Chains A and B, each alone.
Chain A
């Protein structure tokens, strides 16, 4: 197991180095940050001065060498936009995104597994049809539309919930609900499909013949074997949110890493882009590792 984790860590580190090199040079191709930070009326002297202060006048290889040397002592450089360490900016945003992803994915996983399993138990029944109908709508609903409609209905018209922000637990209801819809629809379909296969297998028929009740058949005998493909999809969806739920963060004013990353790319805040990519990549590496371990836990045939 330790050997497996070590191998995965080395492979991920190599990928990360490649990613950092690529992003460092590609991001510089987007243009000069002075064009965006200084007013359009700014003189050539002011632009030159801005570049000098931010080390943008040096040749690219010199800039890269300096970046790598700083990175070796865990100095990710400063954000041009915020004039403070880029890693502080990124970690502050990432904490919000991590919370949002955890809460959403816990709710999604629980709801999708329970409803998907029950739907698979009686394929074609009323419950199955209703669950399938709503899951397909959820899987195809655009986030930005859902978010605006949710604000208009629940905050403006009914006045049940705040429009946006992060102050109280009520502020989390709309963003989490909007984020919930799409992965819920997708995972429910995967659970349903997987469980239909499992529940029609020989060992489940044997269990039924032996008089085992429905609930243990679904949630004990069936679910464990049906979970392998579901875990893969859960991991994929969680990675999507960890990379930033840009639309939800933008509309609901959640200061997460997705909006930060988009703003930083648009504003050419290179150090923040690089720090955000490294933090996201590390989080996704850890999550993939957990998924691999979960495979081994669910299926005794898988051993590392």
Chain B
């Protein structure tokens, strides 16, 4: 009797404690991120995990870019128009309040922009989207803002989809409690443990279904996947391909990253077009798909993903043709190009899954057609000295393994940096290409898309800018109780309002 009583009590206690540990509220979700948010300031929301917590959940923007339709939709701004070249007038939504109770208005937009580009605080949004040109905002009245840029930025409304709006009172230092106009507010932050967002009752827009979201942090991919499997978490936005083993819960999505080998057009032998073509023809890209790269990865013909304006679907990846590659090398050698010089492949440790193996395979393919290549895998700090300008004068022939992210839908965020003669990470030096990029940057609408298409075609066909490899995919695990499918946007944000329950 005593034994049975003990067993029954133990089971009851276990069930109670167990349920306390693992229970999920009906309308609450738990999201497990890969690292803790060290900062939670809205002006840092361009960092993936910060964006997943803040963007459109706590902090909203004037406009929102929708990758599926490639359209810019109104958010805190109801409309906008270009009043003259480089000058835009935004009409703001009225009746919007921040989570601290203050009313949203034009002065908040002015302050948010000034804060993002201020030299008193190192805001990533400012450096990433508002660098390299002058920009100024002026409040016309409570619901009207004029924003001017010099030189003119035809995509200024798109740029405003990156600017998180904070109250006018937000100081010029990182805040620990973000305040925004979004449908959620941060109610708890336990350093090292979790962040809790709860739905606001006074949100200006449609009320989302998720009432509460708890963000927890686990750096090990297998643990994140296991947490969703056993019901401790509902979404793991990023898991490794090796852990994505359940077809019912695991999703592959284009993550807006493109991998490529950057070529140096200013140093022999890669300054010769035939050598660059030979490098491209030497690579059997299909052999990587489903082996070292995910089955869903797509062969790239541009450094931006296919959802980007001006992407040319007619461009074809270079076919695997080692014989032609050998012929081209022989022709170049006959003309005195030093094709036997050693070319260093510079890789960055941990840049993408299986990066070392991919680079070793590439090295073998280049060697097979006659190139003299070596591989160096470097830690990020040292790698950046090769990746960013100014490049060393005596650098010698090199190819830099690189990955570029552009989820913003416009090539302007990529082309100057990657292909301009003075671009920070550009290996190309062609004045005529600079002019094409400048012309596309200044254009609007359909003309803009057409000009970007010409730029990408020129880089791929005429200049053979790089050895383009793959548009990458990410993997997420989502609980079967949720109605949510990750998209390309999941790489930078996770809108709770898009999550439903089955």
B-binding residues in A (CB < 8 A):
30-32, 35-43, 45-46, 49-50, 52-54, 79, 81-84, 89, 92-93, 96, 148, 151-152, 155-156, 159, 162-171, 250-253, 255, 259
B38 touches A156 (CB 8 A): no
Contacts of A163 in B (CB 8 A): 223, 226-227, 230, 232
A46 touches B38 (CB 8 A): no
B21 touches A162 (CB 8 A): yes
Q: B341 an interface residue at 8 Å Cβ cutoff?
A: no
Q: B286 an interface residue at 8 Å Cβ cutoff?
A: no
CA distance A171 to B46 in the complex (A): 33
Contact of B229 among A49, A83, A92, A156 (CB under 8 A): A156
CA distance A170 to B22 in the complex (A): 11
Q: A42-B127, A42-B128, A155-B230 are in contact. Are A92 and B192 (CB under 8 A)?
A: yes
CA distance A53 to B21 in the complex (A): 44
Contacts of A53 in B (CB 8 A): 120-122
CA distance A115 to B384 in the complex (A): 55
Q: B380 an interface residue at 8 Å Cβ cutoff?
A: yes
Contact of A164 among B227, B229, B380 (CB under 8 A): B227
Q: B217 an interface residue at 8 Å Cβ cutoff?
A: yes
| Shortest CB distance B159–A (Å) | 14
B226 touches A37 (CB 8 A): no
B21 touches A41 (CB 8 A): no
Contacts of B21 in A (CB 8 A): 162, 167-168, 170-171
CA distance A39 to B388 in the complex (A): 11
Give 8 CB contacts A-B under 8 Å: A31-B381, A36-B381, A38-B122, A41-B127, A53-B122, A151-B223, A155-B230, A156-B230
A46 touches B17 (CB 8 A): no
CA distance A121 to B121 in the complex (A): 68
B381 touches A32 (CB 8 A): yes
Q: B20 an interface residue at 8 Å Cβ cutoff?
A: yes
Contact of B226 among A45, A49, A96, A152 (CB under 8 A): A152
CA distance A31 to B384 in the complex (A): 11
Contact of B424 among A41, A83, A92, A167 (CB under 8 A): A41
Contacts of B22 in A (CB 8 A): 162
Contacts of B334 in A (CB 8 A): none
Q: A30-B381, A162-B232 are in contact. Are A83 and B191 (CB under 8 A)?
A: no
Contacts of A79 in B (CB 8 A): 38
Contact of A82 among B39, B193, B388 (CB under 8 A): B39
Contact of A45 among B39, B131, B219, B222 (CB under 8 A): B131
The total of chain B residues at the interface (CB under 8 A) is 47
A40 touches B230 (CB 8 A): no
Q: A43-B424, A45-B131, A81-B39 are in contact. Are A35 and B232 (CB under 8 A)?
A: no
Contact of B127 among A46, A52, A155 (CB under 8 A): A46
What residue of chain A has the Cβ atom nearest to residue B424's Cβ? A41
| Shortest CB distance B111–A (Å) | 19
A40 touches B127 (CB 8 A): no
What residue of chain B has the Cβ atom nearest to residue A79's Cβ? B38
Contacts of B131 in A (CB 8 A): 42-43, 45-46
Contacts of A151 in B (CB 8 A): 222-223, 226
Q: B251 an interface residue at 8 Å Cβ cutoff?
A: no
B127 touches A38 (CB 8 A): yes
| Shortest CB distance A288–B (Å) | 28
CA distance A31 to B218 in the complex (A): 27
Known: A32-B381, A43-B424. 8 other contacts (CB 8 A): A40-B388, A53-B122, A81-B38, A156-B229, A163-B230, A164-B227, A251-B220, A251-B223
A-binding residues in B (CB < 8 A):
17-18, 20-22, 36, 38-39, 41, 46, 119-122, 124, 126-128, 131-132, 173-174, 176, 191-193, 216-220, 222-223, 226-227, 229-230, 232, 380-382, 384, 387-388, 417, 424-425
B381 touches A49 (CB 8 A): no
Contacts of A46 in B (CB 8 A): 122, 126-127, 131
A253 touches B226 (CB 8 A): no
Contacts of A253 in B (CB 8 A): 216-219, 223
CA distance A19 to B462 in the complex (A): 58
A40 touches B216 (CB 8 A): no
| Shortest CB distance B238–A (Å) | 15
A164 touches B127 (CB 8 A): no
A92 touches B17 (CB 8 A): no
Contacts of A82 in B (CB 8 A): 38-39, 191
Which 9 pairs, one residue from A and one from B, show the smallest C-beta to C-beta distance? Answer: A255-B192, A31-B381, A46-B127, A83-B174, A81-B38, A50-B122, A253-B218, A82-B38, A43-B131
CA distance A54 to B21 in the complex (A): 42
Contacts of A251 in B (CB 8 A): 220, 223
B173 touches A83 (CB 8 A): yes
CA distance A255 to B218 in the complex (A): 10
Contact of B124 among A39, A92, A169, A259 (CB under 8 A): A39
| Shortest CB distance A265–B (Å) | 12
Contacts of A38 in B (CB 8 A): 122, 124, 127
B222 touches A49 (CB 8 A): no
A165 touches B128 (CB 8 A): no
What residue of chain A has the Cβ atom nearest to residue B18's Cβ? A170
B39 touches A165 (CB 8 A): no
| Shortest CB distance B5–A (Å) | 22
What residue of chain B has the Cβ atom nearest to residue A268's Cβ? B381
| Shortest CB distance A155–B (Å) | 6
A43 touches B132 (CB 8 A): yes
Contacts of A35 in B (CB 8 A): 380-381, 384
Contacts of A52 in B (CB 8 A): 119
CA distance A49 to B223 in the complex (A): 38
CA distance A42 to B219 in the complex (A): 26
A165 touches B232 (CB 8 A): yes
CA distance A251 to B173 in the complex (A): 33
Contacts of B384 in A (CB 8 A): 35, 40
| Shortest CB distance A97–B (Å) | 11
Contacts of B388 in A (CB 8 A): 40
B380 touches A41 (CB 8 A): no
What residue of chain B has the Cβ atom nearest to residue A247's Cβ? B220
| Shortest CB distance B493–A (Å) | 16
| Shortest CB distance A291–B (Å) | 30
What residue of chain B has the Cβ atom nearest to residue A41's Cβ? B417
Residue among B39, B121, B387 with the most chain A CB within 10 A?
B39
CA distance A89 to B131 in the complex (A): 32
Residue among B192, B232, B381 with the most chain A CB within 10 A?
B192
A170 touches B417 (CB 8 A): no
